């Protein structure tokens, strides 16, 4: 499976989450992402990041609710839950309060708003857990070749730094010397830094001997065109993405995003001519990758269409205080995100070691 397909699928789910504040639809989106991660996550270390993203999403939700309790909410409400002591503020801080009434409407509004951000974090965590970062960097275009090499080197050296710190701290503990505090940090940090510099110099010499950093001759006009297309395309992608994620940009978001994407791809193609290179066993974009990416795009497109046709169902109000309904068509569109769970290839898991056979009992004489 091409790692880019997982990112397109996750970004499609994230786009769908940005179009709604309905807690039932957001919970369904997070359940879909969690089910696909549970069925296709490998045993690699980078695949364990999903749990960290889920904890971060829960922390963001709790912080949003805490802000609504202690700093108030712009939503007027009549169902008062508790009244906290209010701190008087100067006249120039009008509109801001600390403490005061905590209403059910304000808490519900904060819950809906925090769930949307939590769903976005869960979708990004799913992409991080399913897409191999090394293979994703290997698939970068030639224009981003130097950046990809730098990230690969950083990802390779990070485990060595952690191993060096653990080894040096264990050696100091065995010798009865302190390994914590400022003194321990100085005695451990300096050898780690020295080893990192030695590895960096050796790696730089090896990469230079193998021809890394060589670029082809490109005319000045082509370089200027490449820079203009890449910069303009990235700005167009940012503006179009902002338009798609906001309710006011429905008219210009998609055309600007497509135009910026086309310009950026043209600039990356021209920039790739400066660093001609080959790839060892490149990842192929097959039929399964199209199905995975297409399911995420379909979820995003159907949710954008549903937001324009039924905005009340996707953005339920809190005044008056009523329970949200589950729109059937958007819910069915979200369930299309389960397609990778049945079409993507099963992950290769490391088999558990077989238990050692029990020793045979000795015969007594």
Q: For residues 192 and 168, is the Cβ–Cβ distance under 8 A?
A: yes
Q: Where do the domains of the chain lie? A: 3-135+287-343, 219-274
DSSP 85: E
Give the distance from CA 283 to its chain's centroid.
21
Q: What is the mean pLDDT of residues 57-85?
A: 82
* 363: DSSP letter: P
Average pLDDT over residues 51-63: 90
pLDDT at 84 over 70: yes
> What is the rounded distance in angstroms from the CA atom of residue 45 to the CA atom of residue 127?
14
* Range scoring the smallest mean pLDDT among 16-20, 251-255, 350-354: 350-354
Chain segment 253-298, per-residue pLDDT in tens:
778 888 888 888 887 777 666 666 666 677 788 888 899 999 999 9
pLDDT the model gives residue 237: 83
- 192 and 169 in contact (C-beta within 8 Å)? no
What pLDDT sits at residue 364? 46
Tell me the Cα Rg of the chain. Answer: 27
């Amino acid at each position: 499976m091409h790692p880019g397909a997982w990112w397109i699928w996750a970004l499609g789910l994230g786009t769908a989450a940005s179009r709604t504040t309905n807690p039932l639809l957001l919970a369904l989106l997070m359940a879909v992402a969690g089910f696909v991660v549970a069925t296709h996550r490998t045993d690699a270390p980078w695949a364990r990041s999903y749990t960290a993203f889920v904890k971060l999403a829960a922390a963001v939700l709790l912080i949003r609710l805490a802000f609504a309790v202690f700093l108030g909410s712009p939503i007027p409400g009549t169902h008062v839950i508790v009244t906290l002591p209010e701190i008087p503020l100067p006249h120039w801080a009008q509109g801001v309060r600390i403490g005061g009434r905590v209403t059910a409407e304000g808490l519900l509004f904060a819950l809906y708003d925090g769930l949307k951000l939590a769903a976005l974090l869960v979708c990004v965590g799913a992409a991080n857990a399913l897409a191999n970062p090394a293979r994703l960097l290997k698939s970068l275009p030639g224009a981003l070749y130097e950046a990809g090499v730098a990230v690969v080197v950083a990802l390779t050296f990070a485990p060595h730094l952690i191993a060096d710190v653990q080894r040096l701290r264990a050696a100091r503990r065995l010798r009865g010397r302190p390994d914590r505090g400022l003194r321990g940090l100085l005695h451990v940090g300096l050898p780690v830094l020295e080893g990192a510099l030695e590895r960096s110099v050796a790696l730089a010499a090896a990469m230079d001997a193998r021809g890394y950093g060589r670029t082809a001759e490109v005319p000045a006009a082509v370089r200027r065109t490449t820079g203009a297309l890449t910069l303009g395309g990235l700005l167009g992608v940012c503006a179009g993405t902002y338009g798609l994620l906001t309710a006011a940009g429905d008219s210009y978001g998609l055309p600007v995003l497509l135009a910026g994407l086309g310009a950026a791809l043209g600039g990356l193609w021209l920039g790739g001519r400066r660093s001609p290179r080959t790839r060892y066993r490149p990842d192929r974009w097959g039929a399964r990758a199209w199905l995975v990416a297409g399911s995420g795009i379909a979820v995003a497109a159907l949710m954008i269409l549903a937001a324009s046709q039924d905005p009340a169902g996707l953005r339920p109000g809190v005044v008056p205080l009523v329970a949200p309904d589950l729109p059937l068509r958007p819910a069915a569109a979200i369930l299309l995100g389960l397609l990778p769970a049945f079409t993507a290839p099963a992950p290769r898991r490391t088999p558990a070691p077989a238990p050692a056979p029990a020793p045979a009992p000795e015969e007594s004489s």
